[in-house]
Structure 1
């Protein structure tokens, strides 16, 4: 039984590592606006580098990670949640984080970008901000990402993948959260969505 469980986990890692996305990808490029009492974050990915590797996205604001979805290149995932402070995480070979302070009724944007890893691409999660950032709402890149990336929705297969890989995800969260906590306040500000960054 233990061998079977290990095989399932390894197969799940293989599927996501090779960009076989268990999410349902539509032809839609626009997400439905959040209700007035919720905030929305759209996580986008659009880079040829690392395109063969998938990235999984989580809300880790509470005790248990909330699985948001899996991003392949050229896709986006919409996440509706309560306003207020949140911490988000992207996982592949490693984990990285982004902070957010969200206002109700607004939509916020994040771009997930590849970086070099030991065995395969790792990913960073960046806020797309009004100003003072490499990734800005007034940039041509943002307009391209918003118009070209397609919506990916949760499926039973995606939930099953997370169920099989939950322990690995939490292990990476714990390991790389310690790295995140060593960042300076200036670095953390660059990695935080502020209320005014919503549209």
Structure 2
């Protein structure tokens, strides 16, 4: 009985250490950002979250590629979420791991939108996809609660600058095939929720 309790305690401690090791050291934990509840004027907020711990040792970096440039949003580790404020209108987002994957959105001003960063099996390490979550989803609340807020630091921006060539190479390799596909994830204007007053 005592041996079982010791084993359970050691397993719990090991799991906590593993989960902490999986988080990006480039990002910092923060309280809920204002943008998560109230975007700036003529803007919308996209909350990107990664509730799954599958592939937890591999980081997923997310970009806005609407202009053709890869504009760094942040690194979304397992169990983390980040609020990205963007101008209302059409946007194209990209997530990078072993490969690159994409999602289009059409944001309405003063709305909050949600998407999961979903890990999947890759050849050498995890690949990731972006999966829209309607604000009406029954799973949204538990996904949000299972993740803690993070934000960028000078170290995350340094990492993004140092890795931009690799990121752009993956974008060039995978975007054309994605555009030819028929099952492309999309966030519609009416899939969000009104910002809090």
Give your verdict on TM over 0.5.
yes
Tell me by how many angstroms 1:175 deviates: 0.5
User: Equivalences for 1:20-169 in 2 at 5 Å?
Assistant: 20-26=24-30, 28=32, 31-129=36-134, 137-139=136-138, 141-169=139-167
Q: What is the SS of the residue equivalent to 1:22?
A: coil
> By how many angstroms is 1:20 displaced?
3.4
Residue range with higher mean Cα deviation, 64-73 or 142-151: 142-151
> Aligned partners of 2:163 and 2:81: how far apart in 1?
21
Structure 1's unaligned 5+ residue stretches are 1-17, 131-136
User: What is residue 188 of structure 2 aligned with on the other side?
Assistant: 194
SS in 2 for 1:80: strand
Cα distance in 2 for residues equivalent to 1:29 and 1:60: 23
CA distance in 2, matches of 1:69, 1:62: 17
- Structure 2 unaligned residues grouped into runs of 5+: 1-21
* Higher Rg of the two aligned structures: 2
Determine the C-alpha separation between the residues in 2 that align with 1:42 and 1:159. Answer: 19
TM score, norm. by length of structure 1 = 0.81
Give the conservation status (yes or no) of the 8 Å contact 2:50–2:76. Answer: yes
Q: Deviations over 1:98-127 (max 9, x none)?
A: 000000000100001111000111101011
How many corresponding residue pairs? 171
